[in-house]
Chain A
């Protein structure tokens, strides 16, 4: 059970990290994204 929790938590952290990073990097270049990652412009 602990192992499963570790893996789930790890993937949640990793997904959040890269999802936010993608938004931040694209926005910084003047290329905002929608929540579903499609171009906002």
Chain B
């Protein structure tokens, strides 16, 4: 219905904004003052209903559709819903930022690009809701007893989620369809406010849903028998909630950037004019920039999540990183390596857009060697799957030379060097079209180079010395200093460049002048990102092993085991391929809106 709302008068815009803000205030109060509102309701309910312990699940508590495994069915549907939800929650985040940049710079191209990004995500939004509904129905149909317990625990909170979803839908449609009605002057700020509101609601929605997943992994607000002992806030704020909130928030942005990057790549390769090619080249570059910028801090967010998992339950941590699931971290390394190599390759190709890049191309070979070397160290497994004869020939299950590369200190060095190398590629790209004119340019360049070299030396020293020659506590502690070294490089790089770019002469950039080979890297990114999300989502969920809710409700279904790696990999691949097909559909629908049929020629005119 919002399609038909005409937002022509300022009064109407302000009125709508007030309605939306009031709804948000009400919703956030419901969500974040849960201690008072929901607890009061629960206290009232307590008077009549006795709190129940968690159910002991038996065969009659599980259902199946024909011979289809319930776990497999829910696995794929949940994964597709999460892919789509991640995409639609992420896109408005960077769209609002791009729109704001457009306002600040006065460059309409930013506004057009932001609108086009939103157009792609609109089709995905409907699909997200469809898969969300299918997931909810599947869970209630196939796991009715378990879902009844979850409803008992979360109570009214799920209605807050539903309310937020209504709000999200309303604000999203208003935001998108009012784009051209609220484009200039003060109206633009009303539109930007809608964007901020949309992202506020979307992020709250994400955090509310995250609480369900983290409750299953690390339940809080219940006793050993699963009886609810605390309010909804105690249940939501489990030990893993905030680490997962941060990790998913950042990962969603990287994922969203990668997907719209593929859209830009697809449009660029099919462009018929140079102007179109230039526009989509710029759009692809921006998408890649968003994806990699969000991706750089992601390992640190992941590190925090894993550290909290270990702190909550060492057993859970060991299951993830020391048991059967540990092998999946090798696959993770391959996928992250693919992402970083593809992102760097795209940047190196993109440097051909500007003649000024020739000053820096000599450095590319060193970055490439660092990336490939680090990648190989990262994918080196600690233990090898060997026959008895192979173990005898090798003299043990660890390779005498490559064995040391299999443990975390080596991996920490590798990942930090890859991130530093990727940031260097970014920095060189950004400097390509600038001729720095500040008087202290020599010192600035020397300081930046020194920071890179000392940071690299520090990362290697910390990893080798504390990782191999001191006790475990120092080994783990030094990894934080390694992370800080990488962050210092990034922060120093951004700060020094910002100061050095003041008054810099801009060199010409020819958008669209990039090899098609480079553009294909934009397709590698979302494919690797999607697979990576499927993989690590599976690991996160599987650490519960044979528990629906860890230590509270045992999984007594026929699927109460961690499947073998081959089966799990096939499931992830099915979900990934299905999502990529959906994405192609989304791209096609987005392109369809631009297609205009030619006016039929009347017979009499012929």
A interface residues (Cβ-Cβ under 8 A, vs B): 2-3, 6-7, 9-11, 13-15, 17-18, 21-22, 25-26, 29, 31, 37, 39
Given contacts A6-B446, A14-B450, A18-B454, 4 further A-B pairs with CB under 8 A are A6-B443, A10-B446, A21-B485, A21-B488
Nearest-Cβ distance from residue B580 to partner chain A, whole angstroms: 41
Across the interface, name the chain B residue whose C-beta is closest to A26. Answer: B477
Q: How far is the CA of A17 from the CA of B443 in the complex (A)?
A: 16
Across the interface, name the chain A residue whose C-beta is closest to B448. Answer: A10
Given contacts A10-B449, A13-B447, A39-B471, contact A18 B485 (CB under 8 A): yes
Across the interface, name the chain B residue whose C-beta is closest to A23. Answer: B481
Ordered nearest first, which 3 A-B pairs have the shortest CB separation?
Answer: A10-B450, A14-B454, A14-B450
Across the interface, name the chain A residue whose C-beta is closest to B483. Answer: A25
Are the CB atoms of B450 and A13 closer together than 8 Å? yes
Nearest-Cβ distance from residue B458 to partner chain A, whole angstroms: 5
B480 contacts partner chain A, Cβ-Cβ < 8 Å = yes
A-B contact count (CB 8 A): 63
**Chain A interface main SS type:** helix
Question: What residues on B are CB-neighbors of A37 within 8 Å?
Answer: 465
Identify the interface centre among A2, A6, A9, A37: most chain B CB within 10 Å of its CB. A6
Residue of B443, B470, B477 touching A10 (CB-CB under 8 A): B443
Q: How far is the CA of A39 from the CA of B447 in the complex (A)?
A: 29
Nearest-Cβ distance from residue B483 to partner chain A, whole angstroms: 9
**Chain B interface main SS type:** helix
Are the CB atoms of B481 and A26 closer together than 8 Å? yes
- Which chain B residues numbered 436 to 450 have a C-beta less than 8 Å away from chain A? 442-443, 446-447, 449-450
B interface residues (Cβ-Cβ under 8 A, vs A): 442-443, 446-447, 449-451, 453-455, 458, 462, 465-466, 470-471, 473-474, 477-478, 480-481, 484-485, 488
Nearest-Cβ distance from residue B571 to partner chain A, whole angstroms: 39
Question: What residues on B are CB-neighbors of A18 within 8 Å?
Answer: 454-455, 458, 485, 488
Nearest-Cβ distance from residue B46 to partner chain A, whole angstroms: 43
Question: What residues on B are CB-neighbors of A11 within 8 Å?
Answer: 450, 453-454
Across the interface, name the chain B residue whose C-beta is closest to A4. Answer: B446
16 interchain pairs, CB-CB under 8 A: A3-B442, A6-B442, A6-B443, A6-B447, A9-B447, A11-B454, A13-B447, A14-B453, A18-B454, A18-B485, A18-B488, A22-B462, A31-B474, A37-B465, A39-B466, A39-B474
Question: What residues on A are CB-neighbors of B481 within 8 Å?
Answer: 21-22, 25-26
Question: What residues on A are CB-neighbors of B471 within 8 Å?
Answer: 39
Question: What residues on B are CB-neighbors of A15 within 8 Å?
Answer: 454
Nearest-Cβ distance from residue B408 to partner chain A, whole angstroms: 16
Nearest-Cβ distance from residue A16 to partner chain B, whole angstroms: 10
Are the CB atoms of A31 and B477 closer together than 8 Å? yes
Question: What residues on B are CB-neighbors of A10 within 8 Å?
Answer: 443, 446-447, 449-451
Q: How far is the CA of A15 from the CA of B471 in the complex (A)?
A: 25
Identify the interface centre among B449, B462, B470, B481: most chain A CB within 10 Å of its CB. B481
Nearest-Cβ distance from residue A36 to partner chain B, whole angstroms: 11
Nearest-Cβ distance from residue B282 to partner chain A, whole angstroms: 35
Question: What residues on A are CB-neighbors of B466 within 8 Å?
Answer: 39
Q: How far is the CA of A38 from the CA of B455 in the complex (A)?
A: 19
Are the CB atoms of A14 and B442 closer together than 8 Å? no
Q: How far is the CA of A37 from the CA of B464 in the complex (A)?
A: 13
Q: How far is the CA of A11 from the CA of B455 in the complex (A)?
A: 11
Q: How far is the CA of A14 from the CA of B466 in the complex (A)?
A: 21
Across the interface, name the chain B residue whose C-beta is closest to A5. Answer: B443
Are the CB atoms of B480 and A17 closer together than 8 Å? no
Identify the interface centre among A7, A10, A26: most chain B CB within 10 Å of its CB. A10
Question: What residues on B are CB-neighbors of A6 within 8 Å?
Answer: 442-443, 446-447
Q: How far is the CA of A6 from the CA of B480 in the complex (A)?
A: 30
Question: What residues on A are CB-neighbors of B453 within 8 Å?
Answer: 11, 14
Question: What residues on B are CB-neighbors of A22 within 8 Å?
Answer: 458, 462, 481
Question: What residues on A are CB-neighbors of B485 within 8 Å?
Answer: 18, 21
Nearest-Cβ distance from residue A34 to partner chain B, whole angstroms: 12
Are the CB atoms of A7 and B446 closer together than 8 Å? yes
Nearest-Cβ distance from residue B489 to partner chain A, whole angstroms: 10
Question: What residues on B are CB-neighbors of A29 within 8 Å?
Answer: 477, 480
Q: How far is the CA of A36 from the CA of B470 in the complex (A)?
A: 14
